[in-house]
Amino acid sequence: MSEIDELQRRIMAAMERIGQGAEALQSAPPVVDTDAIEALRQALDEEKLVTAQLEERIKKLKAAHAAELAEATAQAAGPDPEKLADLDRELQRLRKANQQLRDSNAALREANEAGVGEPHLINSAMLAELEGLRAERAADVAEASAIMDQLVPLLENVRDLPDGEEV
């Protein structure tokens, strides 16, 4: 029996050593390739650098876009005073020409009622009508120019936007 007890003791000691080895394996750090870890760290650092550079570039682009948008908004906010003055001058010219036309036509009607056909009145009426048409055309051009001055900066900003981005 002593042999059985001895074998049992040895089996128990072996089982205890196996248990201790298993615990040691579980608590021990895994065996790793330090070169691979260093390469991964280096790649991670490079990616962090690229990401930081891209984020900085995005910030600059957003700032530039905001500045351009603010400039376009400022341009669109108010018309050019010189263009408004031109438009006002043309409208005043139109009003004056139309008043001359009314006066000439009234004088022409009076001459026709009196039975006196005055050629200079007919010429004067035609010249006044021609001046009215010219003034009307100039007023239209000035008005269109003022409108275009407001639209062009806005349209240029829309054209410069990337596809899919809205104003």
Res 1: pLDDT: 62
Copy the structure tokens of residue 126. 């035609």
> What's the token pair of residue 25?
């394996």
- Tens of pLDDT along 143-163? 888 788 878 877 776 766 666
SS3 92: helix
Which helix or strand (DSSP H or E) is residue 33 part of?
A: none
Question: Could you report the per-residue pLDDT of 2-51, keeping only the tens digit for each?
Answer: 788 888 888 899 989 988 888 877 776 766 678 888 888 899 999 999 99
Mean predicted confidence (pLDDT) in 74-78: 64
> How far is 144 from 150, CA to CA, in rounded Å?
10
Q: Measure the CA–CA gap between 35 and 41, rounded to whole angstroms.
A: 10
How far apart (Å, rounded) are the C-alpha atoms in residues 17 and 8? 14
Q: What are the boundaries of each domain within the chain?
A: 42-77, 80-167
Confidence at residue 42, expressed as pLDDT on a 0 to 100 scale: 92
Both tokens of 95, joined, read 């009003």
Classify residue 162 by its DSSP letter: P
- Could you give the dihedral angle defined by the CA atoms of residues 73, 74, 76 and 77, in that order, rounded to the nearest 10 degrees? 110
